[in-house]
Chain A
């Protein structure tokens, strides 16, 4: 099950994408998830596909070549191989803020409850979580900090902007 942001509320839903390993053929129909290397390598064929294509990037992979083409994708999965490997936070922000990716940006791998809020601020809107994190824990984790010192692509105002607009701390989230 995937936890997704749907109209600013998170809900669990099915994963419609079938993961296709690099050595398996890509089926003609159905939404598929392929590796970034394969998508770039077989781009001419895969780009013509009528049904959705998603791409996964391994923790030690980078966005090389992918950024400019990301608008063609419905889903990008970034993997945290271990929780302390934070590369995907930068990748997520680049996809959202530099390359304008609008589709589902999904976090997978070793994800701890206490990293969810950071991930969400970096642009992730979908999470593949282990069974210990339910919807209530997830929402709780996201609500723990409500004011931010930095701007990200999520549109929430950092406090240095809120201060100049004479807002109150309660309005940080509302500004999103």
Chain B
């Protein structure tokens, strides 16, 4: 993974000191809360319902075991002993004291981490495929480019006060595991006419109040042009994006208003003009090579695909067999597997992990996966490089700590926003709904029979729980002070991105979990040939679900 050099260290260290000064001015009263707000937001510090919340950037979701231990230390020292992994592959602390924040940032800087631009109307953490660099279906590893984008977007003098926040995702594989169609800019590695590898560029995707699927504005962009093209998009947006209405300020609204074609033309014109000014935005080849070297393939052993010890354990232990089947994925190198650690045990809080568990996971990463791990946008953790023959030992160690939930991409692998338990924007709670759903579908065999099914839950229209792209999406709404839950079906954030359709009137708090049960039963009755939920839904549409839902619950 990328390591800071003296330049990166200097920038982050100076930024920490800058923020220390800002906090000192706030604590002394020199700055009012109103004046301090934009400054703390640039450093990932929110004021939530009960306390400050600090969001730490995990660039493109990649962590070393050393960094994870430091995150555990921060959770223990300055918070309540746990941390929360987010859908943008970041980490949040829900209870830091303002006066401690500069020290937390210092601790982060010690392990080459920061909280830069994890909030505010600026370019946020660049996200990517958690399987980047190791999946068999990859054209090229996107992480070096994610790192180049991280550096370029950090403290960008022109783009730190955009109309609204700005999210960029990059994916290098055939399968889109980074939801690039639902970002302000989505970048997919692509092959050009002459076989050269570069990028396909999408703009204007997003969720929130006005969910939209991004539009392709450039079929092929050579690698050298990446930063100039990004500046062109951002400059068009910064100049012409709406600023009069908070809810109409994202780039998707601009793209929607002028049309993808006009957007493409404006960007291309700006891009051509930037190119004419010179080539200072072309990252020198030696620098690209320097960064690429950090992501070179690991020192893999030559192993056969078949590991007898793993096969033996698989036959002997059905829990291990299930975990192997559900939580691990193919690796491009024979004899290796990708192993996922679910943060979603039955009845747990999706994305939360205790400091002790984080330490344990760090130790396991040292032992089994080259001391590295990734945070996924489904809020789980990934060990990218596990020897097939070590899988049973890894599983046993995880299982002892209750970290071996075999539910990746299954119905209990839900995304849920913090909801009214933490967030001052939320209308309803999300976490208790996720907990009850996971208890309802606790039976591991039932889950596996249901198959791949993403339930995403947001406690308000801002859609932090990604309900629009859940196969089943749940949106909390407030009706005269009472919590209700609206259900959408058929959303998806993969290659065929789609936005869920609302199935009918919202359900009361005590009806929602039963309603999910009814939806699942309906699917199981209607499915043919082992279809996944999304296939069945796309074949039969909303109607059969409407019929069963609103008959049984008497709406």
**Residues of A in contact with B (beta carbons under 8 Å apart):** 60, 62, 83-87, 89-91, 93, 97-98, 112, 114-115, 117-119, 121-122, 144-152, 158-164, 168-169, 172
- Look across to chain B and name the residue whose beta carbon is closest to the beta carbon of A59: B243
Q: Is B422 an interface residue (CB 8 A)?
A: no
Q: Give the chain B neighbours of A164 by CB distance below 8 A.
A: 284, 286-287
Q: Contact at B290–A85, with CB atoms within 8 Å?
A: no
Q: Given A121-B157, A148-B155, A152-B157: A86 and B7 within 8 A (CB)?
A: no
Q: Which of B405-422 contact A (CB under 8 A)?
A: none
Q: Contact at A89–B7, with CB atoms within 8 Å?
A: no
Q: Given A118-B160, A169-B7: A85 and B155 within 8 A (CB)?
A: no
Q: Contact at B14–A146, with CB atoms within 8 Å?
A: yes
Q: Contact at A151–B161, with CB atoms within 8 Å?
A: no
- Look across to chain A and name the residue whose beta carbon is closest to the beta carbon of B243: A85
The docked-state distance in angstroms from the alpha carbon of A60 to that of B243 is 9
| Cβ-neighbour of A161 out of B35, B152, B284 (below 8 A) | B284
Q: Is B273 an interface residue (CB 8 A)?
A: yes
The docked-state distance in angstroms from the alpha carbon of A84 to that of B158 is 12
Q: Given A121-B157, A164-B286: A97 and B14 within 8 A (CB)?
A: no
Known contacts A145-B11, A148-B155, then 18 further A-B pairs from the complex at CB < 8 Å, ordered by chain A residue: A86-B121, A86-B158, A86-B162, A98-B273, A112-B38, A114-B18, A118-B155, A119-B157, A144-B14, A145-B155, A149-B154, A151-B281, A159-B11, A160-B151, A160-B283, A160-B284, A163-B5, A163-B286
Q: Contact at A86–B22, with CB atoms within 8 Å?
A: no
| Cβ-neighbour of B17 out of A86, A144, A152 (below 8 A) | A144
Provide 9 A-B residue pairs closer than 8 Å at the C-beta atoms, listed in order of the A residue.
Answer: A97-B277, A98-B277, A118-B157, A119-B157, A122-B158, A147-B7, A150-B152, A151-B280, A168-B6
The docked-state distance in angstroms from the alpha carbon of A81 to that of B439 is 52
Q: Contact at B11–A147, with CB atoms within 8 Å?
A: yes
Least Cβ distance of A163 to chain B in Å?
A: 6
Least Cβ distance of B283 to chain A in Å?
A: 5
- Look across to chain A and name the residue whose beta carbon is closest to the beta carbon of B227: A150
**Residues of B in contact with A (beta carbons under 8 Å apart):** 5-8, 10-11, 14-15, 17-18, 21-22, 35, 38-39, 121, 151-162, 235, 238-239, 243, 273, 277, 280-281, 283-284, 286-287, 290
Q: Give the chain B neighbours of A86 by CB distance below 8 A.
A: 121, 158-162, 238
- Look across to chain B and name the residue whose beta carbon is closest to the beta carbon of A97: B277
| Cβ-neighbour of B155 out of A112, A122, A149 (below 8 A) | A149
Q: Contact at B158–A93, with CB atoms within 8 Å?
A: yes
The docked-state distance in angstroms from the alpha carbon of A65 to that of B35 is 35
Q: Contact at A145–B238, with CB atoms within 8 Å?
A: no
Q: Contact at B277–A90, with CB atoms within 8 Å?
A: no
Least Cβ distance of A150 to chain B in Å?
A: 6
The docked-state distance in angstroms from the alpha carbon of A164 to that of B162 is 31
Q: Contact at A117–B157, with CB atoms within 8 Å?
A: yes
Q: Give the chain A neighbours of B235 by CB distance below 8 A.
A: 90
| Cβ-neighbour of B15 out of A85, A145, A168, A169 (below 8 A) | A145
Q: Contact at B158–A169, with CB atoms within 8 Å?
A: no
Least Cβ distance of B235 to chain A in Å?
A: 5
Q: Give the chain A neighbours of B39 by CB distance below 8 A.
A: 112, 114
The docked-state distance in angstroms from the alpha carbon of A86 to that of B240 is 11
Least Cβ distance of B7 to chain A in Å?
A: 4
Least Cβ distance of B496 to chain A in Å?
A: 35
The secondary structure that dominates the B interface is helix
Q: Contact at B6–A122, with CB atoms within 8 Å?
A: no
The docked-state distance in angstroms from the alpha carbon of A152 to that of B152 is 11
Q: Contact at B6–A84, with CB atoms within 8 Å?
A: no
Q: Which of A86, A146, A148 has the most CB of B within 10 A?
A: A86
Q: Give the chain A neighbours of B152 by CB distance below 8 A.
A: 149-150
Q: Given A84-B161, A89-B158: A144 and B287 within 8 A (CB)?
A: no
The docked-state distance in angstroms from the alpha carbon of A113 to that of B156 is 17
Q: Contact at A114–B239, with CB atoms within 8 Å?
A: no
Q: Give the chain B neighbours of A62 by CB distance below 8 A.
A: 239
Q: Give the chain B neighbours of A144 by CB distance below 8 A.
A: 14, 17-18, 21
Q: Contact at B10–A146, with CB atoms within 8 Å?
A: yes
Q: Contact at B11–A149, with CB atoms within 8 Å?
A: yes
The docked-state distance in angstroms from the alpha carbon of A163 to that of B21 is 29
Q: Give the chain A neighbours of B280 by CB distance below 8 A.
A: 151, 158, 161
Q: Contact at A83–B283, with CB atoms within 8 Å?
A: no
Least Cβ distance of A61 to chain B in Å?
A: 11
- Look across to chain B and name the residue whose beta carbon is closest to the beta carbon of A140: B21
Q: Give the chain A neighbours of B157 by CB distance below 8 A.
A: 89, 117-119, 121-122, 150, 152
The docked-state distance in angstroms from the alpha carbon of A91 to that of B240 is 11
The docked-state distance in angstroms from the alpha carbon of A146 to that of B152 is 15
Q: Give the chain B neighbours of A145 by CB distance below 8 A.
A: 11, 14-15, 18, 155
The docked-state distance in angstroms from the alpha carbon of A97 to that of B235 is 13
The docked-state distance in angstroms from the alpha carbon of A164 to that of B6 is 13
Q: Give the chain A neighbours of B284 by CB distance below 8 A.
A: 160-161, 164
Q: Given A83-B38, A89-B238, A164-B284: A147 and B161 within 8 A (CB)?
A: no
Least Cβ distance of A126 to chain B in Å?
A: 17
The docked-state distance in angstroms from the alpha carbon of A163 to that of B5 is 9
The docked-state distance in angstroms from the alpha carbon of A16 to that of B371 is 63
Q: Contact at B11–A83, with CB atoms within 8 Å?
A: no
Least Cβ distance of A132 to chain B in Å?
A: 9
- Look across to chain A and name the residue whose beta carbon is closest to the beta carbon of B162: A86
- Look across to chain A and name the residue whose beta carbon is closest to the beta carbon of B285: A164
Q: Give the chain B neighbours of A148 by CB distance below 8 A.
A: 11, 155
Q: Give the chain A neighbours of B35 by CB distance below 8 A.
A: 112
Q: Give the chain B neighbours of A93 by CB distance below 8 A.
A: 158
Q: Contact at B239–A84, with CB atoms within 8 Å?
A: no
Q: Contact at B11–A162, with CB atoms within 8 Å?
A: no
| Cβ-neighbour of A89 out of B14, B155, B161 (below 8 A) | B161
Closest 8 CB pairs of A and B: A86-B161, A121-B157, A151-B280, A118-B157, A169-B10, A159-B7, A160-B287, A144-B18
Q: Contact at A162–B14, with CB atoms within 8 Å?
A: no
Least Cβ distance of B212 to chain A in Å?
A: 23
